[in-house]
C-alpha cells in the first residue's frame, strides 16, 4: 500500500498509540499466523497496528487480508520482490537492500514510539529503530542458528561444513540482535538457554529478556469435540515435512507399528522438501499404504476436526520454540509425544500432559507409541484432560492479553 496523506501530515509527529510490526526478508504462513495473533492482542489493547513486510506468498497474504480489521496499515517492502530472489543465500546482500528501503520510508519509524521486530535476524530494522530512539521488542519464536545447525546435521552433501560455518556466523549475528534490542520476547523460560552466549552474557542481558511472551490458541475452536476414549487408534503428525522434524523416521516407525498392531491407523498432514519421499515410502509399502492418510494441505479452520481424530500426536523436532501445533493438539485432548526441545518442556510434562522420546531411532519411536496406546484407559483420559486444561488455563486469549499488556508497558 502506498503512503497516505495522513502519513505525510504525521511526519515528525509521534503516535504514542501506534505500534509498528516489522518482518524481515523471509516470511511464511506460520509467521503470518504469529503476526495476526499479535495484531489481535494489540488491537484489543487499544493499539493501532502498522505492518511493514516484504511481499508474502499468496496464501499468507490472504490470511492477512481476512484479518484486516486488526491491522491499521500494511506497507510492502520491495514491490519487485527482489528480496525474495536473493534471500536464499547469506543475508548480507539482503540486509543492504533492506536498509536502503527502510531509509526511504523512515517517516514511518519517526511516528511510532514502539516497534515489534519479528525474528532475530532483522538487524537493518533494529539499526533504524536505534537511530530514531524507538523502543524495540524482538519477538523470537525460535533462533535461526538452531535451524541452520539442524540443516547441517541432516545434510549429506559436500556443503555440510559450510552450513555449520554459516550456523556459527548466524549465532554471532543473533547475539548482536539481542544487544541492539530493548527487549527480547521469548515464549517460554526454557528458551533462555538457547540464547547465543547466554552463559557469558546473562548478567548483562537478563533484564531485557521477557520469557512470558507466548501467544494464544482459539480454545473455543481447539477443544475435545470427540472424547479421547471414543477415538479410534489413530497416530498423527501435522507440520512441515522437513529433516529436522524426523519425518522419514516417523514413517519408518509407522511401518513397525503397522506390522505389530493391525488396529492402528496413521494421519500425516503437511508439505515440505520431504513430501515426495514420504509419499513414495508410504505407497511402496502395501501394508502402510492402506493405513496412512497423507494430506498435503488442510485449511487451518479444519485442523481441529483432524486433531479430534488423533489419539496419539507425534511431534519430534530438533529446532523449535513453542510450536502452536502442539498447543492445538493438547487443547484437542491428544496424547502428545515430543522431543524436549526449545520451549516444549513448558507444555509437555512427562506423564502429566504428554511424553518425551529423545531418540530418532524408528524402533524407539514405535516402542513409545505402542506403550502409550497400551496404557489403561483411565490414564489416557487423565493425560488427555491434563493437556486440555493446561492450554485452556494459560494459553487462551485472555491470558495472552494479560501477558502482552505487561510487555507493552515495560
Burial class for 48, CB neighbours closer than 10 Å (0-12, 13-18, 19+): middle
CA distances for 227 relative to 308, 326, 396, angstroms: 8, 18, 20
Q: How many domains does the chain have?
A: 2
What's the confidence (pLDDT) of residue 59? 59
Same domain, 160 and 208: yes
Q: Are residues 331 and 283 in the same domain?
A: yes
- 159 and 178 within one domain: yes
Q: Average pLDDT for residues 309-321, to the nearest whole number?
A: 93
Q: Are residues 96 and 243 in the same domain?
A: no
**Measuring CA to CA, how many Å separate 56 from each of 28, 60, 117, 140?**
7, 6, 16, 19
Place of cell 520476547: 185
Same structural domain, 140 and 236:
no
Instruction: Say if 14 falls within a structural domain.
Output: yes
For residue 60, the model assigns a pLDDT of: 62
pLDDT (mean) for 308-331: 94
Q: Is 403 found in the same domain as 378?
A: no
Computed over every residue of the chain, the mean pLDDT equals 84
User: Stretch 245-266: mean pLDDT, rounded?
Assistant: 95
* pLDDT confidence tier of residue 25, bands split at 50, 70 and 90: low
Q: What is the pLDDT of residues 28-64, one digit of tens each?
A: 667 778 888 888 899 899 888 888 877 666 656 666 6
Mean predicted confidence (pLDDT) in 381-385: 97
- pLDDT at residue number 3: 43
Q: Are residues 99 and 56 part of one domain? A: yes
Assigned domain for 222 exists: no
Domain membership flag for residue 65: yes
Q: What is the pLDDT of residues 280-294, one digit of tens each?
A: 999 999 999 999 999
pLDDT at 11 (0 to 100): 38
Residue 93 has a pLDDT of 64
User: What pLDDT sits at residue 66?
Assistant: 63
Region for 113 from its dihedrals, namely left if φ exceeds 0, alpha if ψ lies in -120 to 50, beta otherwise: alpha
Residues 246 and 389 in one domain: yes
Are 359 and 401 members of one domain? Answer: no
Residues 283 and 375 in one domain: yes
Give the model's pLDDT for residue 62. 62
Residue 208 lies in a domain: yes
In this prediction, residue 167 carries a pLDDT of 85
Asked if the structure places residue 220 within a domain, the reply is no
Answer whether residue 201 is part of any domain.
yes
* pLDDT 10s digits, 146-200: 887 877 777 766 677 887 888 888 899 899 989 999 999 999 999 999 999 998 9
Please state the pTM of the whole predicted model.
Answer: 0.86
Residue 219 forms part of a structural domain: no
Residues 162 and 242 in one domain: no
160 and 256, same domain (yes or no) = no
Give the Cα separation of 159 and 52 in Å (integer). Answer: 34
Element (H, E) at 280: helix 275-283
Question: Domain limits at 191?
Answer: 5-214+397-408
Instruction: Return the CATH number at 236.
Output: 3.40.50.2000
Instruction: For residue 221, tell me if it sits in a domain.
Output: no
Amino acid at each position: 500500500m502506498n503512503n497516505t496523506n495522513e502519513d505525510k501530515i504525521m511526519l515528525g509527529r509521534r503516535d504514542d498509540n501506534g505500534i509498528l510490526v516489522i518482518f524481515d526478508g523471509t516470511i511464511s504462513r506460520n509467521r503470518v499466523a504469529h503476526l495476526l495473533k499479535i495484531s489481535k492482542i494489540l488491537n484489543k489493547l487499544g493499539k493501532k497496528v502498522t505492518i511493514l513486510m516484504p511481499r508474502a506468498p499468496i496464501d499468507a497474504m490472504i490470511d492477512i487480508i481476512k484479518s484486516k480489521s486488526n491491522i491499521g496499515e500494511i506497507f510492502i517492502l520491495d514491490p519487485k520482490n527482489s528480496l525474495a530472489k536473493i534471500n536464499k543465500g547469506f543475508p548480507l546482500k539482503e540486509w543492504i537492500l533492506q536498509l536502503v528501503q527502510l531509509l526511504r520510508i523512515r517517516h514511518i519509524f519517526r511516528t511510532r514510539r514502539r516497534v515489534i521486530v519479528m525474528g532475530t535476524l532483522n538487524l537493518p530494522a533494529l539499526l533504524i529503530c536505534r537511530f530514531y530512539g524507538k523502543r524495540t521488542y524482538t519477538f523470537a519464536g525460535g533462533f535461526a542458528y538452531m535451524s541452520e545447525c539442524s540443516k547441517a546435521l541432516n545434510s549429506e552433501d559436500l556443503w555440510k561444513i559450510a552450513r555449520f560455518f554459516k550456523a556459527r556466523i548466524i549465532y554471532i549475528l543473533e547475539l548482536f540482535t539481542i544487544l541492539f534490542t530493548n527487549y527480547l520476547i521469548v515464549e517460554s523460560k526454557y528458551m533462555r538457554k538457547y540464547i547465543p552466549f547466554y552463559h557469558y552474557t546473562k548478567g548483562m542481558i537478563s533484564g531485557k529478556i521477557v520469557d512470558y511472551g507466548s501467544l494464544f490458541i482459539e480454545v473455543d475452536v481447539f477443544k475435545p469435540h470427540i472424547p479421547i476414549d471414543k477415538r479410534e487408534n489413530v497416530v498423527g503428525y501435522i507440520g512441515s515435512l522437513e529433516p529436522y522434524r524426523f519425518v522419514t523416521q516417523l514413517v519408518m516407525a509407522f511401518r513397525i507399528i503397522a506390522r505389530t498392531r493391525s488396529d492402528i491407523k496413521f494421519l500425516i498432514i503437511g508439505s515440505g522438501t520431504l513430501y515426495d519421499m514420504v509419499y513414495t515410502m508410504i505407497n511402496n509399502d502395501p501394508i502402510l499404504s492402506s493405513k496412512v492418510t497423507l494430506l498435503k494441505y488442510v485449511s487451518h479452520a479444519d485442523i481441529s476436526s483432524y486433531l479430534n481424530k488423533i489419539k496419539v500426536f507425534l511431534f519430534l523436532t530438533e529446532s523449535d520454540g513453542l510450536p502452536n501445533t502442539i498447543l492445538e493438539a493438547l487443547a484437542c485432548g491428544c496424547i502428545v509425544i515430543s522431543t524436549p526441545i526449545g520451549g516444549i518442556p513448558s507444555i509437555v510434562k512427562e506423564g502429566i500432559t504428554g511424553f518425551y522420546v529423545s531418540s530418532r531411532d524408528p524402533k524407539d519411536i514405535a516402542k513409545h507409541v505402542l506403550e502409550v496406546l497400551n496404557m489403561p484407559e483411565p490414564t489416557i483420559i487423565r493425560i488427555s484432560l491434563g493437556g486440555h486444561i493446561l492450554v485452556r488455563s494459560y494459553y487462551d486469549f485472555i491470558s495472552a492479553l494479560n501477558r502482552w499488556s505487561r510487555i507493552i508497558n515495560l
